[in-house]
Amino acid sequence: MSTFAIASESVLISQAVAREARSGVLGTPKTLAPWLFYDEAGSHLFEQITELPEYYLTRTERSIFAAHAEEILREAARGQGPAGKLTLIELGAGTATKTGILLAAAVRQQGSVVYQPVDVSETALAEASENILTNIPGVTVRCQVTDYTREALPLDRLRNTRTLALYIGSSIGNFTPVEARDVLRNLRAQLLPGDTLLIGTDLAPGEHKNEAMLLAAYDDAAGTTAAFNLNVLTRLNRDLGADFDRKNFRHKVRWNGAVSRIEMHLESLTEQTVRIPASYGVPTLTVDFAHGETIHTENSYKFTPAAVRTLLLSACFKATKTWQDPKDLFAVTLATAI
Ligand code: AVI
């Protein structure tokens, strides 16, 4: 990519940050969209979160893949002709650390596989590609820099192949139910009947998961999730010249059982005024905070298996098989495009 293209891409991102900040902090209640977390520092903090003892999601999903990868791939390929192969596409692939288990199983099953990771981050995709090409012979990687939440998915349909789309990590849980349905409909629009989707979802509280465990996963003892949440203020200071003082806010997590979601907020510890100077066509903002007022920064929905099936059906996918860990903390569901 040329230097000019990179510069214009970063201007577009800064414009989007300015618009999101404006609409978010002027609203009641105040909000900031979770995609703002993922600047370079935030992406690094998220990688650290996935290794925290309290954050069970990543390692539990990985353990499900490790136990069932062969069966998942076999089920996804069911009905394929003997010469037919699966092509794997992954939404929000990031550095694709867990995907390797599935790709290795695909290579064992069909000899080789084409893998199309899709992500907004070019650097994450470059890392994913290097890791996979070094460690799993037989994989052809075709990276695609796209925001799958807003743009059509650029799917390379190869002759005589069927697509298995991966949407793992419970990323779907960071959308409202309507947004989640629309993300899946956007994906479904690019698939053909008989293609499949493998979706990872964090499960609602049950016998082995109580509210305390959920709260700890989002408010860890080392303070990494707090730093991840507060980093959004640092980003607005850097990208927009805002004057948020991080010391005047604290990370706050609550479980909203009525809608089955963890909420992350930034709570103002004092009455204060923050200034965001004019930028990218957005006028100067002066934002007043009451003591105790919060900015709602993220939702993380927790699903029942029935809720996953209903969500899938709303986007024309039929769930065919679900794998869970022995403690029912996390679910991985295979669904067919209908
Ligand atoms: C990316 N996503 C699935 C994470 C989650 O669990 O909702 C983001 C996250 N937020 C705080 N910790 C992790």
Helix orientation angle between 122-135 and 99-110, rounded to the nearest 10 degrees = 40
Structure tokens at 238: 């850097």
Give the whole-angstrom CA distance, residue 335 versus residue 338: 9
Q: What is the mean pLDDT of residues 205-224?
A: 98
Residue 280's pLDDT is 87
Nearest-CA residue for atom 2 of ligand 1: 171
User: What are the pLDDT digits (tens) for 121-140?
Assistant: 888 899 899 999 999 999 99
Nearest-CA residue for atom 3 of ligand 1: 171
Residue 121's pLDDT is 83
51-62 in b/e burial notation, b at 16+ Cβ within 10 A? ebebbbbbbbbb
- Asked if 119 and 94 touch (Cβ cutoff 8 Å), the reply is yes
Residue 123's pLDDT is 84
pLDDT band of 1, cuts 50, 70, 90: very low
Is the pLDDT at 3 greater than 80? The verdict is no
Distance 202 CA to ligand 1 centre (A): 10
Query: Pocket of ligand 1, candidates 300, 301, 303, 329: which has the most ligand atoms within 8 Å of its Cβ, to mutate?
Result: 300
Ligand 1 atom closest to Cα of residue 217: 12
Residue 9's pLDDT is 64
Structure tokens at 23: 């609409």
C-alpha distances (whole Å) from 45 to each of 40, 81, 220 are: 9, 44, 13
Distance 43 CA to ligand 1 centre (A): 11
Q: Which residues line ligand 1 (CB under 6 A)?
A: 49, 57, 169-171, 173-174, 218, 225, 298, 300
User: What are the pLDDT digits (tens) for 295-316?
Assistant: 999 999 999 999 999 999 999 9
Nearest-CA residue for atom 10 of ligand 1: 218
User: What are the pLDDT digits (tens) for 56-93?
Assistant: 999 999 999 999 999 999 999 997 666 679 999 999 99
Q: What is the pTM of this model?
A: 0.95
Residue 120's pLDDT is 84
Residue 6's pLDDT is 47
Residue 157's pLDDT is 80
- Asked if 336 and 315 touch (Cβ cutoff 8 Å), the reply is no
Is the pLDDT at 204 greater than 50? The verdict is yes
Residue 5's pLDDT is 43
What's the mean pLDDT when you consider all of the chain?
A: 93
Is the pLDDT at 322 greater than 50? The verdict is yes
Q: What is the mean pLDDT of residues 6-35?
A: 87
Percent of the chain whose predicted confidence (pLDDT) is above 70 = 96
Residue 2's pLDDT is 33
Distance 58 CA to ligand 1 centre (A): 10
Give the whole-angstrom CA distance, residue 292 versus residue 248: 10
pLDDT band of 249, cuts 50, 70, 90: very high
Residue 8's pLDDT is 60
Residue 82's pLDDT is 60
What residues have CB less than 8 Å from 301, skipping those under 6 apart?
172, 173, 174, 175, 177, 180, 202, 259, 260, 261
Helix orientation angle between 99-110 and 56-77, rounded to the nearest 10 degrees = 20
Q: In this predicted model, which residue has the larger pLDDT, 232 or 5?
A: 232
